[in-house]
């Protein structure tokens, strides 16, 4: 399969929102596009802003409702955004699946996460306004466990099946190549650091022979 697949099925993924205010209080907006998300469980329909005149999502465009598959790295990423609201988006319509996430035709907030240090009262107000579930998670592992218990999101095996074996093999080769390059960089850095320490130790030694120094009582000769 040479192009990312479009699947007409509801999906759930991790993402963040920004906060804004209106006459009714706090509301959610997009992060890259500050489009207000409709409240009360209504869907936000994606629209392409590039002027291409096509429906979102499009394979050769970046349009659509963006989300990440529930993974440990994506959970850390959404919880680390201190000025954004972490949660799960429910996506519907045409959905274009990629290795790390997906882009969808429409979406709505499904759940918002309360992590340590977050404003729980604010998030509770947002959940009431959007008809979303409020979930308390102490960290990324708990977030992923909560998703797995409810069957939310695509696992890695399902993503590989959707993208096709050729694409999965190509991604694995890319990851192995990157891992080897990273290992070589670390090894080179260790070798260079060791060499610098060795040269520093050699040059730090005093050359043989008498050395003239000056102490409190006058000149002193040492060997």
pLDDT at 1: 44
Q: What is the mean pLDDT of the chain?
A: 84
Residues contacting 55, CB < 8 A, separation 6+: 48, 94, 105
Residues 162-176 pLDDT 10s: 888 776 566 566 656
- Enumerate the domain spans of the chain: 6-163, 174-222
Residue 103, C-beta contacts closer than 8 angstroms, at least 6 positions apart: 46, 56, 57, 62, 63, 64, 65, 66, 95, 96
Taking each helix axis from N to C end, the angle separating 72-80 and 140-149, rounded to the nearest 10 degrees, works out to 120
Q: What is the pLDDT of residues 29-73, one digit of tens each?
A: 999 888 999 999 999 999 888 776 788 898 888 899 999 999 999
pLDDT in tens, 110-163: 999 999 999 999 999 999 999 999 999 999 999 999 999 999 999 999 899 888
> Residue 219 carries which DSSP code?
E
Higher per-residue confidence, 180 vs 77: 77
């Amino acid at each position: 399969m040479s192009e990312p697949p479009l699947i007409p099925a509801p999906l759930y993924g991790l993402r963040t929102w920004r906060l804004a205010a209106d006459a009714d209080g706090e509301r959610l907006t997009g992060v890259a596009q500050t489009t207000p998300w409709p409240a009360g469980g209504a869907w936000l329909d994606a629209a392409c802003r590039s002027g291409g005149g096509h429906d979102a999502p499009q394979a050769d465009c970046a349009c659509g409702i963006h989300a990440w598959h529930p993974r440990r790295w994506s959970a850390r990423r959404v919880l680390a955004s201190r000025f954004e609201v972490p949660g799960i988006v429910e996506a519907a319509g045409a959905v274009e699946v990629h290795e790390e996430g997906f882009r969808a035709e429409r979406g709505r907030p499904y759940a918002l996460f309360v992590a340590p240090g977050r404003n729980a009262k604010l998030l509770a107000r947002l959940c009431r306004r959007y008809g979303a579930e409020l979930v308390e998670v102490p960290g990324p592992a708990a977030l992923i466990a909560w998703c797995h218990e409810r069957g939310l999101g695509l696992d890695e095996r399902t993503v590989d099946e959707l993208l096709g074996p050729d694409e999965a093999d190509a991604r694995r080769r890319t990851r192995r190549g990157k891992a080897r390059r990273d290992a070589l960089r670390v090894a080179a850095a260790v070798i260079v650091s060791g060499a610098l320490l060795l040269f520093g130790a050699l040059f730090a030694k005093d050359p043989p022979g008498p050395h003239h120094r000056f102490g409190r009582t006058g000149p002193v000769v040492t060997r």
